Amino acid sequence: MRARQPESEDATREALSGFCEAYWPPLYSFLRHRGHSSADAQDLVQGFFAHLLEQNTLTRADQQKGRLRTFLLGSLQNFLFNEYDRARALKRGGGRQIVSIEEHLPEAEAAMMATAHLSDAGCYDLVWASTIVSRAWDNLQTAFVAEGKAEWLEELRPFVAGGSVAPLNQEEAARRLGVPIATLRTWLSRLRQRYRESLRMEVATTVSDPADVDAELQHLYQILIRS
């Protein structure tokens, strides 16, 4: 989300809820990766969002001429350092380490397993990249459902989005959809094109300078392919 100047309070709230929904997973994973318990991590992300809102930091993100990804991570780290530690220390008494990794590993989510070998920031990046890529797909799905094309998207999904289910051969899919193979191929091509646009739009909301979209996109690619 490019932090635009909201037009009304409702719009602000809506924008904020969208924002929080989008960037909650990487922030949460980062905290979990650092060893916070699930409950603590949830509280911390909530607190961090509240903090952002209070400080009106989102507008600043836009002015920073940077990437939301690095900006948010930096802010979270600052938040942890400046705000949270103080608060927790006061509450729990002393600079004692509150969570221990060993204790909490067993309850780590299945998704966390795959990031175990990464650094905290690497984990954040990976979850970030996954979130952006998934959101772009979700947005596209929503659009297709609105256009009444949910069914054929379901049919075409394996061709474009991979997954553990092998795509049927194209002839079979064309037959099931009752269209000629040439039409199916055109659809697939358009679907890829639309996803490409959707992904670019999603990425665009996270960078302040449109010129950064390509670089950020390539970065996401690197993160996911290397992981």
Partner 1 sequence: MDDGGIDLETAAAGVCATCGRLLTQIGPKGECLRCLVSLGFLADGEEPERPAAQGRLTPGPLKYAHFEVDVGADGFPVELGAGGMAITYSARDTVLNSTVALKVINRSVAQNPDARSRFLREARAAANIHHPNIARVTYYGEQDGECFYAMELVKGETLEARVRRDGPMPLASALEIIEQAACALAAAEACSVVHRDIKPSNIMLESDASGGLTVKLIDYGVAKVMGPQAELDAEQTRAGFIGTPAFASPEQFAGSAQLPIDTRSDIYSLGVTFWYLLTGRTPFVGGTMEEIRVRQTGELPLEHLRGMHLPGQVIALLKSMLAPDPKDRPQTARELLSAVNSCYARFNPEARARRRRAMLVVAAGVLAITAIGIWLFQRTRSAAPIERSIAVLPFENLSSDKENAYFAEGIQDEILTRLSKIADLKVISRTSTQHYKSAPENLREIAKQLGVAHILEGSVQKSADEVRVNVQLIKAANDSHLWADTFDRKLTDILSVESEVAKTIAEQLRAEITGQEAEVIADRPTDNPQAYDAYLRGLAYTLKTGFAPANSLGAQKYLKEAVRLDPKFAVGWALLSYVDASGYLTQGLQPTVALREEARQAAETALTLQPNLGEAVFAKGFYYYACLKDYDTAVKYLEQAHQLLANNGRIPLSLAYVERRRGNWDKSEAYFNEAEKLDPRNVNLLSQHARSYICLRRFPEALAKLEQILNITPDDIDTLVLKARIAQAEGDLPRASALLAPLRLGADYANALETQVYQAILESRPLGVIAQLKEILANPNQALGYYNGELRFWLGWAQEVAGDHAAARETWSQARSELEPLLKEQPENFVLMGDLALINMGLGDNAAALALAERALDLFPIDKDALTGPRPLDILARVAARVGDPDRSISTLEKLLSIPYEAPLAANPPLTPALLRLDPMFEPLRNDPRFQKLVASSARK
Which residues contribute to the site for partner 1 (CB under 8 A)? 113-114, 116-117, 126, 129-130, 133-134, 136-138, 157-167, 169, 171, 180-182, 189, 192-193, 195-196, 199-200, 203, 214-215, 217-222, 224-227
The nearest distance, CB 57 to partner 1, in angstroms, is: 24
User: Which CB, 72 or 199, lies closer to partner 1?
Assistant: 199
The nearest distance, CB 113 to partner 1, in angstroms, is: 6
The nearest distance, CB 164 to partner 1, in angstroms, is: 4
107 sits in the region (left: phi over 0; alpha: psi -120 to 50; else beta) called alpha
Gap between the Cα atoms of 227 and 222, Å rounded:
8
- Beta-bridged to residue 207, according to DSSP, are 67
User: Which CB, 59 or 222, lies closer to partner 1?
Assistant: 222
User: Which CB, 4 or 162, lies closer to partner 1?
Assistant: 162
Gap between the Cα atoms of 47 and 44, Å rounded:
5
User: Which CB, 59 or 134, lies closer to partner 1?
Assistant: 134
Of 86, 95, 104, nearest in space to 38 by CA: 104
The answer to whether the beta carbons of residues 32 and 110 sit under 8 Å apart is no
The nearest distance, CB 172 to partner 1, in angstroms, is: 10
The nearest distance, CB 69 to partner 1, in angstroms, is: 12
Pair of tokens at residue 23: 């960037």
User: Which CB, 50 or 116, lies closer to partner 1?
Assistant: 116
Pair of tokens at residue 212: 């950064």
Gap between the Cα atoms of 190 and 147, Å rounded:
14
